[in-house]
Amino acid sequence: MTKFAPFDPAKYLDSEEAIAAYLEAAAEGGDAKHFASALGDVARARNMTELARKSNMTRAGLYRAFSEDGNPSLNNTMSVLSALGLEFTVKPVKPAKHAARKRAATRA
């Protein structure tokens, strides 16, 4: 039987373009936990110690906050994005997407 290693997206986040595309795709779903986990993947792809220093967090705090089960504050999220040289932007949702998200939210 063939054994496969777990997929680690951090291994493929090797350029600013790849990181931006990855985070943009993660944000499109509207799931905060998924976005936080994706940001954790990006943090692991970068120098975690340096990123912790630049974002005024500990390494352990970064791992914990941006893990699959983490729940980082908006302040921590913004600090990490800034430390990565990224910015948080907001744009209007297209009407069809907005309606789909609204329907999904009412079902939950």
Question: 33-61, pLDDT tens digit by residue?
Answer: 999 999 999 999 998 899 999 999 999 99
Both tokens of residue 20? 């931006």
To which H or E segment does residue 91 belong? none
Cα angle vertex 54, ends 31, 75, to 5°?
Answer: 40
User: Could you tell me the sign of the dihedral formed by the alpha carbons of 50, 88, 30, 19, in that order?
Assistant: negative
pLDDT at 21 over 90: yes
Residue 5 in domain:
no
pLDDT for residue 15: 92
Asked if the structure places residue 7 within a domain, the reply is no
Per the domain annotation, does 76 fall within a domain?
A: yes
The answer to whether residue 54 sits within a structural domain is yes
Q: Is the per-residue pLDDT at 98 higher than 70?
A: no
Express each pLDDT in 70-92 by its tens digit. 899 999 999 999 999 998 888 88
User: Is position 101 within any domain?
Assistant: yes
Number of domains in the chain: 1
The residue segments making up the domain with residue 35 are 13-107
Long-range contacts of 9-17, Cβ-Cβ distance < 8 Å, separation of 24 or more:
9/38, 9/41, 9/45, 10/41, 10/42, 10/44, 10/45, 11/45, 13/41, 13/42, 13/45, 14/45, 16/85
Asked if residue 90 is part of any domain, the answer here is yes
